[in-house]
Amino acid sequence: MRRREQGDADRVLTLCTPLGKIDVLAKGARKLRSRKAGHIELFTHSSFVLSRVPNYWDIISQAETVEPHATLRDDLLRGAYARYAVELLDRFFTSGEGEQALFDLLNHTLTWLCEDDDLDLAIRFYEQHLLGLAGFRPELRACVGEHADRDRRVLLRPHEPTEEENRPYGFDPERGGALCRDCYTRRNSRHKIASLSPNGLWFLQECQRGPYTRLRAQQTLLSLHEEVERVMQHYITHHLEQRSSASAFLKRLKRMNKAQNQRSL
């Protein structure tokens, strides 16, 4: 996930493992003839044998690549998505936290980012399930507004036919989820609440529900991706108390690619 230089030739690696997030030491990894160097690249799925050292980092004694995910280092855009994915994990989970489900989620997401065309879909699915594992899963199926205060659960069904189907829902990071149309109308003028279209709410609900294979079979419009990205960045920034640096870089890169594509038409 992350690495930094240590001493003259070593590297300290931050790993996501089935037993949690840990830091380990790769001795001699920066030497030209290091046998470990090819197995400890960013985003690589590798198998390690670690030597336990009291009051120090565990040391990698053996390393073998399982899946290199090389596309994420060769393709700038795909790599930017991968950096965002690992930064979220790194920020929401401290050392020692995590489990098999978190490891599998990251591993699958990095594979999807290598193989799929709809990179935003993979990231939106990842966000919802990472937040769930971190204990910050947004409530998307019931209103978190005044109805919740009165112990009256109002379910949100954005695709049910209704006379007010074009009225937006709301998304309140402070309360931790979506607002019905009435609560959004009452609270929007006084709070930093994002608007959320019926399609946007439905899409987020689908990301929570999964599985990814079913979402992958559907086509998602670019405008819907842009709306949901805005809402989720609002929510994640609220809980991290600062914006993700990787998301800012990814946004600039996507904007540059969009401008280049428009000039080429």
Question: Domain map of the chain by residue range?
Answer: 1-68
Residue 46 makes CB contacts below 8 A (sequence gap 6+) with 39, 40, 63, 64, 65, 66
For the domain 1-68, what is the CATH superfamily, name and number?
Nucleic acid-binding proteins (2.40.50.140)
Tell me the per-residue pLDDT of 192-222, one tens digit each, with 9 for 90 and over: 899 999 999 999 999 999 999 999 998 899 9
Is the pLDDT at 190 greater than 70, yes or no? no
Q: Which whole number is the average pLDDT over 161-176? A: 83
Q: Which of 67-71, 160-164, 181-185, 208-212 has the lowest mean pLDDT?
A: 160-164
Q: What is the pLDDT of residue 164?
A: 64
Query: What is the pLDDT of the chain when averaged over all its residues?
Result: 92
At 32, the pLDDT band (50, 70, 90 cuts) reads confident
pTM here is 0.93
Strands 10-17 and 177-179: unpaired
Is the pLDDT at 28 greater than 80, yes or no? yes
Tell me the per-residue pLDDT of 232-242, one tens digit each, with 9 for 90 and over: 999 999 999 99
DSSP secondary-structure letter at 109?
H
Tokens of 105: 């989620």
Q: What is the pLDDT of residue 162?
A: 64
| CA 243 vs CA 83, 121, 141, 237: distances in Å | 14, 21, 26, 5
